[in-house]
Amino acid sequence: MADRIVVLSTKPGRVRAVLRNDLLHPRSYRSPELLYIVDQLHGIITGHEMPDALPLTSSAAAAVEVLPAVSSSEIIGLLEYLQGHTGLQNIFQIAADSHREFGDVIKVVKAAELLDFVVTPGQLVSITSMGKHFVNANQEERKIIWRQQLLRLRLFRAVLDMLTAKREAGISPQKKS
């Protein structure tokens, strides 16, 4: 580990934090002092990328939730992984076990969290009762649960409402020529 550690934010990349590492060389990677620095780094990264709670302002409450660009199979894979690991795992361990970039794992976890399949207390990812129900369901039940969870998100409800209104008004979809 370097003597100075710079943590950058994403999009746009800016310096978010700088940590000094004054430990003597050679460093033991299992020493309590080094593990403390690693915990600080984890806290900085997960505190920004995966906060436990977001402050709700009037504009935040009215905002549309953004579902990260991940596939349903990635979310299902996360849920099945958690189910096989007592329902709880450290996000960094998930990234290591799945051989995925940490940022990609965060996107999958965030999508699963928006669908109420997981919760993220600190650095942990924990499967919810809804997530367990989904994992244990058969294919048809999974489709129903997936639809129900998507419709909890404001954007999906709005799209469904618009489509329903068009159908009720007798407006048919445009045909391609």
Verify that 85 and 111 share a domain, yes or no: yes
Please report, for the domain that includes residue 124, its CATH number.
Answer: 1.10.10
Q: What is the pLDDT of residues 44-62, one digit of tens each?
A: 776 655 555 555 554 444 5
Instruction: Name the residue range of residue 17's domain.
Output: 4-49
Q: What is the pLDDT of residues 114-148, one digit of tens each?
A: 999 999 988 899 999 999 999 999 999 999 999 99
Least confidently predicted of 15-19, 59-63, 148-152: 59-63
Verify that 31 and 77 share a domain, yes or no: no
Residue 45: other Cβ atoms inside 10 A = 20
Q: Is 157 a domain residue? A: yes
Tell me: pLDDT of 25 over 60.
yes
Tell me: pLDDT of 12 over 70.
yes
Q: Determine the pLDDT at residue 175.
A: 59
Q: Is 76 a domain residue? A: yes
| CA proximity to 81, closest of 58, 112, 50, 46 | 112
Would strands 4-8 and 124-127 be described as parallel, antiparallel, or unpaired?
Answer: unpaired
Verify that 76 and 154 share a domain, yes or no: yes
pTM score, whole prediction: 0.62
Q: Is 173 a domain residue? A: no
Burial class (CB in 10 A: 0-12, 13-18, 19+), 98: middle
Residue 28: other Cβ atoms inside 10 A = 11
Percent of the chain exceeding pLDDT 70 equals: 85
Verify that 102 and 36 share a domain, yes or no: no
Number of separate domains in the chain: 2
Longest dimension (CA), the chain: 75
Tell me: pLDDT of 173 over 70.
no
Verify that 34 and 65 share a domain, yes or no: no
Verify that 81 and 125 share a domain, yes or no: yes
Verify that 155 and 100 share a domain, yes or no: yes
What value does the mean pLDDT take over residues 63-87?
Answer: 90
* Phi and psi based region of residue 56 (left: phi greater than 0; alpha: psi -120 to 50; beta: remaining): beta
What value does the mean pLDDT take over residues 58-73?
Answer: 72
User: What does the radius of gyration of the chain's CA atoms come to, in whole angstroms?
Assistant: 21
Verify that 43 and 88 share a domain, yes or no: no
- Mean pLDDT over the full length of the chain: 82
Which pLDDT band holds residue 155 (cuts at 50, 70, 90)? confident
